[in-house]
Amino acid sequence: MEKILVGLKRVVDYNVRVRVRSDGNGIETDGVKMSINPFDEIALEEALRIKERGEASEVIVVSIGPSEAQQQLRTGLAMGADRAILIESAEPVDPLSGARVFLELVNREQPGLVLLGKQAIDNDNNQAGQMLAAIWGCPQATFASKIDIQGSTATVTREVDIGLETIEIELPAVITTDLRLNEPRYVKLPDIMKAKKKPLDITPIADLGVEMASAYTNVAFDPPEQRTKGVMVQDVAGLVDALKDKGLI
């Protein structure tokens, strides 16, 4: 296998408390720390391990988003990716449009494997990987907690509702990663300096000729309701009475 394509999405860092804008028109991002989507970081770590085992020759990281997403791509390069591609878009990209963009890149790069996080923590859609596999017409394995590649076959252990499921798929394929697959490596300062010299190509999304019409529109954003104060009870009977008072039983 020559190439592995890895998607990296720019999201609000998972340690940051998300706040809705005062006009209710989106999430506040000004002055907020942004990072690589954690599931995507796991996907990149797995791609790097596959390359280090001699099972791939190049790892390419891709992001679809604003110019600022170069920061996350540079982090990916510092982790060990060979080159980066930014598909620049000032507007948010829905999962199907994102899958179409990835299909265009797949046709250009001809990777043996596409690794994506199973979902992004900003919208939790869990759709892009499955949509890409469908329009690409290739096998897929989602929620991967273990990946073993032998030649043109990948054996993937998946996390499903009833436990673990192991399947075999033929490459090229799309695999989406779960949390227990690995622990991403720590980026060191020398690696950050080296990453500045690695190639990062920027392409406006309009140049791809991809239809970007979204099937849905966000009407409004609302913060969750304030949590009410807890109630201390003395015994089981008191707990039952408290639950009855709230209409829960």
The 10s digit of each residue's pLDDT in 178-200 is 999 999 999 999 999 999 999 99
Q: Is pLDDT above 90 for 19?
A: no
Identity at 164, one-letter amino acid code: L
Q: Summarize the confidence of residues 28-42 as an average pLDDT.
A: 91
Task: Give this prediction's pTM.
Answer: 0.86
Q: Summarize the confidence of residues 224-246 as an average pLDDT.
A: 85
Q: Compute the distance between CA of residue 73 and CA of residue 61 in angstroms, rounded to an integer.
A: 7
Helices marked H in 7-94 = 38-52, 70-79
According to the model, what pLDDT value does residue 171 have? 96
CATH code matching the domain that covers 3-245, chosen among 3.40.50.360, 3.40.50.620, 3.40.50.300, 3.40.50.920:
3.40.50.620
Q: Summarize the confidence of residues 76-95 as an average pLDDT.
A: 92
C-alpha gyration radius of the chain: 21
Most confident range (mean pLDDT) of 21-30, 104-113, 227-236 is 104-113
According to the model, what pLDDT value does residue 59 have? 97
According to the model, what pLDDT value does residue 153 have? 95
According to the model, what pLDDT value does residue 233 have? 87
According to the model, what pLDDT value does residue 226 have? 82
Q: CB atoms < 10 A from the CB of 222, how many?
A: 7
Identity at 80, one-letter amino acid code: G
Q: Is pLDDT above 90 for 17?
A: no
Higher-confidence residue: 247 or 104?
Answer: 104
Of 50, 70, 236, the closest CA to residue 150 belongs to: 50
User: Is residue 118 within 8 Å of residue 126, measured between CB atoms?
Assistant: yes
According to the model, what pLDDT value does residue 1 have? 80
According to the model, what pLDDT value does residue 154 have? 95
Q: Summarize the confidence of residues 40-44 as an average pLDDT.
A: 97
Report pLDDT digits (tens) over 130-179: 999 999 999 999 999 999 999 999 999 999 888 999 999 999 999 999 99
> What is the pLDDT of the chain when averaged over all its residues?
91
